[in-house]
Structure 1
Amino acid sequence: MRRTLVVTNDFPPRQGGIQTFVAALLARRPPDSLVVLASRSPGWEEYDAQLPYPVVRRPTGMLLPTRATARAATDLARRYGCDTAFFGAAAPLGLLAPALRSAGVGHLVGATHGHETGWVALPGARGLMRRIAGGLDVLTYISEYTRSRLAPALGDRTRLAQLSPGVDVDRFTPSADGAATRKRYRLGSAPVVVCVSRLVARKGQDVLVAAWPRVLARHPDARLLLVGGGPDEAGLRRAIAARGLQDSVVLTGPVPPEQLPEHYAAGDVFAMPCRTRRGGLDVEGLGMVYLEAAACGRPVVAGTSGGAPETVQEGVTGHVVADPRSPEAVAATIADLLADPERARRMGAAGRAWVEQRWSWTTIAATFAELLEPGAATH
């Protein structure tokens, strides 16, 4: 069996999207095919003790492509006879590729996650990404949008292949029970629009709040549930108060990951009208929350930023609002869905079926397995 050395700064118990992505990929590989080199974060010893494969932690909170990291990586590759390496985030750890090749690693794969589209837009960072790509056999991308940004900058330096995050369809399911969440936030039997995301401008919670009076004009009993924390919380609370929406808009603050399915389930419609900002540097790489909501059987309302439209089958699993900055457009899309519960239910069912077929971890894990083989087909 081929053995893969995984070099990653993004690894649990540190929380985050990339950490979850990497851990989920590895959980679906044969344990004896893996060895991991990672950084440290609080609780790492207890976490590693539960894993079925070896993990070596460098004594640092940030794993960088230093000489010491290169020595540790090459030592592990030789000790375990690794013939493949996977960089959980290609930038910047992919700079270790030449050292690993010298240690006998013949096939190197690096992952990108979305922020690299900003890198290739900046001259200095673009040069670094080109150097990294030139050392890899495969560089993965999460959406067609991110591929469209990476490909022109990287040229033919490496092969690009799609490797998107997946959805745990056993956790995010239409059978998730939102009753306790509705009770906790006193939502009763009201129609609920839910948004699960970090509270930052790109995600569009400010537009949802601005749109909400128009939704209430058509659905006076409706409630808006904003799930998550972030730097925009104080501003959102001020906007809610200024519009007199305290009785119909709820901010939950941060929610533990294990409670997310019940929060999706508390909603009748999921909405996050994300928008691109800062001249394209602040952009949605894909938008896993739309797929998690769809897996829970909820219709989704998305914005146009980056890869977000790729998570929606327009008119089938939900809608992409053409102008996510427009409170009027966002309100009309949401209100129309709330006015037709049967159509919303059909969209939710279609979304669940699509996630099972295209976005489940079973599908993504099979793609990952192919990419770790030299003859993997381009996706």
Structure 2
Amino acid sequence: MQIKTKILIVSVDFPPHTDGVSTVAHELASRLSGAGEQIIVIGPQAKGAKEYDSLQKFKVIRTPWYELGYLRLIPILFVMPWVILRYRIKIVIPMNIAYGGVIAYLFSKILGFKYAMWAYGYEFGKFERNKFMHKLYLKIYNNALFVAAITEFVKERLIKFGVIKEKIILIKPGTDHQKYYPLKVTDDFRSKYNLLGKKVILSVGRLVERKGFDMVIRSMPEIIKAHPDVVYVLVGGGSFRQNLENLTNVLGVERYLRFAGRVPDEELLKFYNLCDIFVMPSRTLEERGDIEGFGIVYLEANACEKPVVGGKSGGVNEAIEDGKTGLLVDPFSKDDVTQAILKLLLDRELAKRLGENGRKRVVEELNWQRAVEIFREKLNKVRNDERVR
């Protein structure tokens, strides 16, 4: 028997913000709601949020202080228990253990609800050597109904962290191939960013050190020598932007860079389609436990039939099939990154084949319908087993 319960999804990253966790949270809320579940979301205030919220089938409650780091936990600390009591929530899904998971664990016994977790790698990896946080996170994971790991790599890291193996379920993220698809981009849009007649290398993501965007910038002088008409476009915002801009100026390649910032979904689709290559040479920063657990943006680019270049780190090799949907490189080697980009700019047949293979894989294997079905099947099982009503 399928039991219906009110579900609260808590995420400090949520549309209109665009990043991996925002995408997972949106797809989960949208597709669970579409399947008849009663969904409420706690998400951050953001420009364009009112318009986004009005189009959804689920209720979104917005909290302030998105830009204030861990201080954004304070509004959630008050809002979450109020929502749970007001709407009689029985299951909470925190999208990040740090922002929501800790609060869910603390209130679960008092308010009588259950919770399920998601894990990406970076959020718990940085606390492997911190005894207090390690112990706290382990309690949170092991008291959850289950923990959804986004890759085999993350699953193994969770087990190594001490999470009960039977608690972990593998759910690889996908992308929406009806949202990201091949599209002819107008000259007007190209002109907006001064990209008419240019070969375009594209990166999309939060501008943080782990993503390896600095390595692409370091590769630019050599790439420019071979292709004077090349431009590198970065879409996204983040704390590392100033470092990247400084590096661009030091290398004297500022004419060949475009920092587009955060863009709406309709522009993101156009950026994917106007690029020749998508690049994100993510690397693991071991001293911080900072890891790329997967990389949904690789799939979004693939869905638009674009070849991708990624770093051999974390769960990236599960997002990219090396030599089939893209190329994997040593993310700490400028030469490796440079040669992969030059190879795809030169060999257009290879680039075309990788892009086509990538879209085929997204359509057939790595899509959100399949991912959310797996999540809901597990949710239904634990609801019956735990008699959550």
Q: TM-score, normalised by structure 1?
A: 0.84
224 and 155 in structure 1: CA distance in 2 versus 1, 3 angstrom threshold? closer
- Whole-angstrom CA distance in 2 between matches of 1:104 and 1:29: 22
259 and 92 in structure 1: CA distance in 2 versus 1, 3 angstrom threshold? closer
> Which residue of 2 is the match for residue 145 of structure 1?
153
Q: Which is richer in helix?
A: 2
Structure 1 stretches of 4+ with a deviation exceeding 6 A read: 43-46, 56-60, 101-104
SS in 2 for 1:271: strand
71 and 157 in structure 1: CA distance in 2 versus 1, 3 angstrom threshold? farther
Which string of whole-angstrom CA distances, capped at 9 and with x for unpartnered residues, describes residues 135-159 of structure 1?
Answer: 1221111122222211122242751
Query: Counterpart of 1:361 in structure 2: which amino acid?
Result: W
Are the equivalent residues in 1 in contact too, given 2:145–2:382 (CA < 8 A)?
no
- Whole-angstrom CA distance in 1 between matches of 2:222 and 2:46: 45
Range with bigger deviation, 7-16 or 276-285: 7-16
SS in 2 for 1:247: helix
Residue 52 of structure 1 is aligned with which of 41, 49, 57? 57
SS in 2 for 1:132: helix
- Whole-angstrom CA distance in 1 between matches of 2:50 and 2:234: 34
Are the equivalent residues in 1 in contact too, given 2:117–2:148 (CA < 8 A)?
yes
> Which residue of 1 is the match for residue 275 of structure 2?
267
Which string of whole-angstrom CA distances, capped at 9 and with x for unpartnered residues, describes residues 292-318 of structure 1?
Answer: 111111000101232122211000111
Query: Counterpart of 1:363 in structure 2: which amino acid?
Result: R
- Whole-angstrom CA distance in 2 between matches of 1:236 and 1:54: 38
Q: CA deviation at 1:27?
A: 0.8
Residue 15 of structure 1 is aligned with which of 12, 17, 28? 17
Are the equivalent residues in 2 in contact too, given 1:63–1:69 (CA < 8 A)?
no
Q: CA deviation at 1:168?
A: 1.9
> Which residue of 2 is the match for residue 113 of structure 1?
120
Range with bigger deviation, 311-320 or 146-155: 146-155
For 1:114-133, list aligned pairs within 5 A. 114=121, 115-133=123-141
CA RMSD of aligned residues (A): 3.2
238 and 59 in structure 1: CA distance in 2 versus 1, 3 angstrom threshold? closer
- Whole-angstrom CA distance in 2 between matches of 1:55 and 1:182: 35
Matched, 1:285 2:293: yes
- Whole-angstrom CA distance in 1 between matches of 2:363 and 2:39: 30
Q: What residue ranges of structure 2 are gaps of 5+ in the alignment?
A: 66-71, 384-389
347 and 57 in structure 1: CA distance in 2 versus 1, 3 angstrom threshold? closer
Q: CA deviation at 1:108?
A: 4.0
Q: CA deviation at 1:265?
A: 1.2
Which string of whole-angstrom CA distances, capped at 9 and with x for unpartnered residues, describes residues 312-348 of structure 1?
Answer: 1000111110x21222111111101111101100100
> Which residue of 2 is the match for residue 349 of structure 1?
356
Range with bigger deviation, 250-259 or 299-308: 250-259
Matched, 1:201 2:201: no
SS in 2 for 1:320: strand
Residue 362 of structure 1 is aligned with which of 369, 374, 377? 369
- Whole-angstrom CA distance in 2 between matches of 1:93 and 1:227: 27
- Whole-angstrom CA distance in 2 between matches of 1:8 and 1:187: 39
Q: CA deviation at 1:197?
A: 2.2
Matched, 1:34 2:38: yes
- Whole-angstrom CA distance in 1 between matches of 2:201 and 2:295: 17
Residue 307 of structure 1 is aligned with which of 315, 324, 349? 315
Matched, 1:326 2:301: no
Query: Counterpart of 1:372 in structure 2: which amino acid?
Result: L
> Which residue of 2 is the match for residue 296 of structure 1?
304
> Which residue of 1 is the match for residue 257 of structure 2?
249
238 and 102 in structure 1: CA distance in 2 versus 1, 3 angstrom threshold? closer
- Whole-angstrom CA distance in 1 between matches of 2:270 and 2:64: 37
- Whole-angstrom CA distance in 2 between matches of 1:367 and 1:128: 28
Residue 373 of structure 1 is aligned with which of 357, 372, 380? 380
> Which residue of 2 is the match for residue 24 of structure 1?
27
Q: CA deviation at 1:25?
A: 0.8
Q: CA deviation at 1:100?
A: 4.6
Are the equivalent residues in 2 in contact too, given 1:302–1:308 (CA < 8 A)?
yes
- Whole-angstrom CA distance in 1 between matches of 2:272 and 2:43: 32
Are the equivalent residues in 1 in contact too, given 2:32–2:39 (CA < 8 A)?
no
Q: CA deviation at 1:92?
A: 6.0
- Whole-angstrom CA distance in 1 between matches of 2:108 and 2:206: 37
Query: Counterpart of 1:317 in structure 2: which amino acid?
Result: T
SS in 2 for 1:24: helix
Residue 336 of structure 1 is aligned with which of 336, 339, 343? 343
180 and 38 in structure 1: CA distance in 2 versus 1, 3 angstrom threshold? same
Which string of whole-angstrom CA distances, capped at 9 and with x for unpartnered residues, describes residues 13-56 of structure 1?
Answer: 67353333222211112465224263663687776565434556
Q: CA deviation at 1:3?
A: 1.8
Query: Counterpart of 2:178 in structure 1: which amino acid?
Result: D
- Whole-angstrom CA distance in 2 between matches of 1:116 and 1:51: 31
Matched, 1:62 2:73: yes
Range with bigger deviation, 93-102 or 207-216: 93-102
Q: CA deviation at 1:167?
A: 1.2
Are the equivalent residues in 2 in contact too, given 1:94–1:136 (CA < 8 A)?
no
Query: Counterpart of 1:52 in structure 2: which amino acid?
Result: K
Range with bigger deviation, 127-136 or 216-225: 216-225
282 and 85 in structure 1: CA distance in 2 versus 1, 3 angstrom threshold? closer
Q: What residue ranges of structure 1 are gaps of 5+ in the alignment?
A: none
- Whole-angstrom CA distance in 1 between matches of 2:150 and 2:208: 21
> Which residue of 1 is the match for residue 84 of structure 2?
73
Are the equivalent residues in 2 in contact too, given 1:120–1:129 (CA < 8 A)?
no
